[in-house]
Amino acid sequence: MPMLHIVNANFESELEGRTAFDLENSFGSNQTLLQLQFLPCLYAKEEDGVGVSAFSSNSDCKVHLLCDPKPPPYTHITSWGYSQMIARWAKKRHLIYTMPSWDVVKEVNSKAFSFVHSLQLARSALVTSHEEAKKWMAYFEGEKVFKSCFGVSGKGHLRLPKESGRVESFLRQEFIKGLPVIAEPWVKRLLDFSTQWIIHSANKIEYLGATICLSDEKGIYRGNQTGDLDLLFGKYRSHLDKHLEIAEPILKKMGAMGFFGNVGIDAMLYEKEMLHPIVEINARKTMGWFCVEMQKRYFPKHSIAVSYGKNDTLKNLLPHTVSKSNGGKIKFNKILSLTRIKGS
């Protein structure tokens, strides 16, 4: 069954209601969104296609421009994250796109959901007003962080006291949308990792694999590693096993709520090897999932590293440019690379 793959990397923006109404224009001129649209060229089956909003001459997979009014030669759509925009686009073209209730999609992707349904950091809180936030900030000394419900890759974080001048505006922006804010102490991280899953139903949860997560000090995504988990996790391996035990009941709860599909769960070790088993839940495909998929498909006997950022020394697996409708071009300044880890 040929599939049309669509990578809507602006998924969290749609959850917050900050994207265009139509899919064709939702990616705008954002370099990351435009470039990551071509990710399925690396994992889709030969008979599948990739839906994109701009054409690239250095992409060798079958692409279908989303602005094309003619239906693509596919019957089904699969996406990075569930999307009302994609659902409307599919309906116009009489294509099959199956997704859970949008209310359920929003609920399970909110950081408030993972906060309420998992173990929490000591002295953390869910705040819903300026008064609650003020009391929490005075509750203890030390560095702290506010997190919005739908922030991703370090965005949507406000670190205190470094960014204290933005507290009022940050909180107001979330509260006006009717969203709570997660308030946590800032801790020294030892290791970030993720696990990748598929929820088929409340009683069928499939574990796909685990990755080490790499990010900078601001939490911006840099890459993932997967393969030999004993090698990659080293002395921290038992913490992964504990995380798996804690994660599965939450996944079953999500299935009972009516959610199905890909889920990535982030976890961390901090300070004196303390485990925070559920940092956040991403109910969509993730770069961790992509890393696991690439390792299983192309390097099943080796450990690999996937990175995405500015680096001129490695081969780029994604297009370097895309062409705009007015004839101009957008040149990307990031590359996606895949390397084998030495010793694996």
pLDDT of residue 59: 76
In the chain, the domains with their CATH numbers are 3-99 (no CATH), 103-112+188-288 (3.30.470.20), 122-185 (3.30.1490.20)
Q: Quote the CA–CA distance of 44 and 88 in Å, as a whole number.
A: 23
pLDDT of residue 216: 80
pLDDT of residue 235: 96
Long-range Cβ contact pairs of 17-25 (< 8 A, separation 24 or more): 17/177, 19/85, 20/85, 21/85, 22/85, 22/88, 22/89, 23/53, 23/66, 23/83, 23/85, 23/86, 23/88, 23/89, 24/53, 24/66, 24/67, 24/89, 25/53
pLDDT digits (tens, 9 = 90+) for 331-341: 999 999 999 99
Cis bond upstream, residue 161 (ω within 30)? yes
Q: Quote the CA–CA distance of 169 and 334 in Å, as a whole number.
A: 31
pLDDT digits (tens, 9 = 90+) for 171-225: 999 999 999 999 999 999 999 999 999 999 989 999 999 999 998 877 788 999 9
pLDDT of residue 24: 87
Please state whether 240 falls in left (phi above 0), alpha (psi between -120 and 50) or beta: alpha
Q: Quote the CA–CA distance of 152 and 221 in Å, as a whole number.
A: 9
Q: Quote the CA–CA distance of 228 and 47 in Å, as a whole number.
A: 31
Q: Quote the CA–CA distance of 80 and 99 in Å, as a whole number.
A: 12
List, run by run, the mean pLDDT of 10-residue segments along the chain (344 residues).
94 86 86 95 95 86 91 94 96 96 97 95 97 95 95 82 91 94 96 98 96 85 96 97 97 98 98 96 98 97 95 86 83 94 80
Collapsed DSSP state (helix, strand, coil) of residue 126: strand
